[in-house]
Structure 1
Amino acid sequence: MEREELLKGALAGDINAFQTLFAEFQSQLKSYLYRLLTDRNDVDDITHDTFIRAFSKISTFNQDAELKTWVFKIATNLAYDHLRKLKRWQADAQDRGADLAIGSEEVRRAFWIAHDTSPAGTYEMKEHIDFCFTCISKTLPIENQVALILKNIYDFQVKEICEILEKTEGVIKHLLNDARNIMTDIFEHRCALINQHGVCHQCSHINEIFNPKQDQQEELMKLELVKASKKYNREELFTLRTLLVKAIDPLHASGTDLHESIMNCVRTAIGEKKDFFERNRGNAG
């Protein structure tokens, strides 16, 4: 069935036609929501709620924007409602997560079980850089985070982000500029991969734990980000980082399950999650 016919059917209340159209960008939508929410269960819930709400309001879709943009707007509003109940993360969130892991044999054991038993439990440095990008983006105000991720990771145009956030072009450009500057500053002062004075050695440290025989320096030098850091241009390094992040689906990468455990540890350490084991108990025994 042609896309125009599917859209016509969806507008007429055909849920199967709408499901077909929704499926075209569902994977990207869930990836986007995970970067905002960092919790698979929340992603599933909000994706489901987005589908229900979008279909129930399909008669209000006036086709001035792409259906994908319209659906992402609904999803963003639902995610925003969820996130504004929570405190934004601080730049030391990952450090606090590391402290919790170091101090808890049970947490470390859960990491090892995910790494040893899950087909998505491997550790790759480039995926951990993506993980760090997600964590650090959560230190931004929500609107800055949304604008940055939509533009730099999912290639939405400024006019589409204007539609999603209901802001003017000038405001969106301001949000993007501030977001990039904040992220760049945090990376410059924390990331030991690009700054020898950085305080975050998490990528190398976790790689050493899970891949003790791997030559870390050799793996690091495979990354354009690290090669370029010798020239040291803040803007270029940020661009390289976003290119690396764009190439990774955080929900379907080779280390997805390991990183989910690490993310749960961070969320527990900062008080966003009450108990690390509330959803991991079955994997830890």
Structure 2
Amino acid sequence: MDKEALLKLAVSGDINAFHTLFAEFQNQLKSYLYRLITDRDDLDDLTHDTFIKAFNKISTFTQDASLKTWVFKIATNLAYDHLRKKKRWLPDAQDRAADLAIGSEEIRQVFWMVHDTSPAGAYEMKEHIDYCFTCISKTLPIENQIALILKNMYDFQVKEIGHILEKTEGVIKHLLNDARNTMTDIFEHRCALINQEGVCHQCSHINEIFNPKQNQQEELMKLELVKASKKYNREQLFELREFLVKSIDPLNASGTDFHEEIMRCLRTAIGEVDDFFDRDRNKFKSDS
């Protein structure tokens, strides 16, 4: 059955037809939502709520945008409600996470356990750059963050982002420009990977801990970002970061589980999580 016929059935209330259409972009939707909320514990619920709300409202779908854009709008509104209850992250959030991990033997043991036992517990520097990009994006106002991620990670057009955020194309372009400028400035002053004057070299430091036999310089030189750092300006380096991040699925990468624990450590350090060992992580505490 073609998409047009499926869409007609879905709009008439056929949940199987709607599910078939939803499944075509579900993985991308989950990846997008994770980049916004950075919490796998809430991700499935938010994705499920998006599906239910979209299906319940499907009769109002006027097709002035694609079904995907319309569903992403619903998901974005749900994520917005989730995020506006929380404080915006500061650029030093990763530093605070590092301090917490250094001061907690139990947390470090969780990192080692996940790294050693999980099939998605590897550490790769390029994936940590993706993690870093997500963290820095969360220093932006929510609408700037959403616009940047939709445009540069998931190839939504400015008009589609305007539909999702209910803003004019001119406003969306302004949000994107501000987001790029802010993140470029933060990276320039923080990232020591490509700037010797930066204050953060976390990706390389963790690589030395978890990949001690791996040649550090060889790993660095694998990254086009590092190769280009001597000849490109800061805007071009930001574009290279985006290109690298766009190629990584934060939910299905080789180090997904490892970075989830680092992210949880970060959210604990800044007060979004009361206790690193909440919920199922109690088993890590008891096993340590």
TM-score of the alignment, normalized to the shorter chain, above 0.5: yes
Q: How many residues are aligned here?
A: 285
Partner AA of 1:2 in structure 2: D
Distance 2:48 2:64 in 1: 24
Instruction: Report the alpha carbon displacement of residue 96 of structure 1 after superposing the two structures with TM.
Output: 0.1
1:21 aligns with 2:53: no
Residue 166 of structure 1 corresponds to which residue in structure 2?
166
Deviations, residues 169-218 of structure 1 (Å, cap 9, x unaligned): 11100000000000000100011111011111100110011000101111
Partner AA of 1:272 in structure 2: E
SS state of the match for residue 277, structure 2?
A: helix
Residue 183 of structure 2 corresponds to which residue in structure 1?
183
Distance 1:41 1:104 in 2: 22
Residue 218 of structure 1 corresponds to which residue in structure 2?
218
Distance 2:14 2:86 in 1: 37
Residue 271 of structure 2 corresponds to which residue in structure 1?
271
Q: How does 1:55-94 map to 2 (within 5 A)?
A: 55-94=55-94
Distance 2:122 2:41 in 1: 21
Structure 2: which 5+ runs fail to align? none
Distance 1:30 1:46 in 2: 9
Instruction: Report the alpha carbon displacement of residue 5 of structure 1 after superposing the two structures with TM.
Output: 1.0
Q: How does 1:124-273 map to 2 (within 5 A)?
A: 124-273=124-273
Instruction: Report the alpha carbon displacement of residue 283 of structure 1 after superposing the two structures with TM.
Output: 3.7
Distance 1:153 1:215 in 2: 30
What TM-score, normalized to structure 1? Answer: 0.99
Distance 2:217 2:175 in 1: 36
Instruction: Report the alpha carbon displacement of residue 281 of structure 1 after superposing the two structures with TM.
Output: 2.0
Partner AA of 2:214 in structure 1: Q
Partner AA of 1:129 in structure 2: I
Distance 2:217 2:35 in 1: 28
Aligned residues of 1:123 and 1:211 also touching (Cα < 8 A): yes
Aligned residues of 1:145 and 1:179 also touching (Cα < 8 A): yes
Residue 282 of structure 1 corresponds to which residue in structure 2?
283
Distance 1:55 1:133 in 2: 33
Deviations, residues 81-131 of structure 1 (Å, cap 9, x unaligned): 010000000000000000000000000000001000100000000000000
RMSD: 0.7
Instruction: Report the alpha carbon displacement of residue 134 of structure 1 after superposing the two structures with TM.
Output: 0.3
SS state of the match for residue 214, structure 2?
A: coil
Partner AA of 1:199 in structure 2: V
Partner AA of 2:94 in structure 1: Q
Distance 1:51 1:35 in 2: 18
Partner AA of 1:23 in structure 2: A
Distance 2:138 2:55 in 1: 30
Instruction: Report the alpha carbon displacement of residue 46 of structure 1 after superposing the two structures with TM.
Output: 0.8
Aligned residues of 1:114 and 1:283 also touching (Cα < 8 A): no
Distance 1:91 1:199 in 2: 11
Distance 1:147 1:161 in 2: 6
Partner AA of 1:258 in structure 2: F
Partner AA of 2:283 in structure 1: G
Instruction: Report the alpha carbon displacement of residue 2 of structure 1 after superposing the two structures with TM.
Output: 1.1
SS state of the match for residue 222, structure 2?
A: coil
Residue 118 of structure 2 corresponds to which residue in structure 1?
118
Partner AA of 2:37 in structure 1: L
Partner AA of 1:281 in structure 2: N
Residue 5 of structure 1 corresponds to which residue in structure 2?
5
Instruction: Report the alpha carbon displacement of residue 232 of structure 1 after superposing the two structures with TM.
Output: 3.5
Instruction: Report the alpha carbon displacement of residue 278 of structure 1 after superposing the two structures with TM.
Output: 0.4
Aligned residues of 1:143 and 1:165 also touching (Cα < 8 A): yes
Distance 1:52 1:140 in 2: 29
Aligned residues of 1:150 and 1:161 also touching (Cα < 8 A): yes
Distance 1:67 1:207 in 2: 42
Distance 1:4 1:201 in 2: 50
Structure 1: which 5+ runs fail to align? none
Partner AA of 2:269 in structure 1: A
Partner AA of 2:128 in structure 1: H
Distance 2:232 2:191 in 1: 13
- Over the matched positions of the two proteins, sequence identity in percent amounts to 81
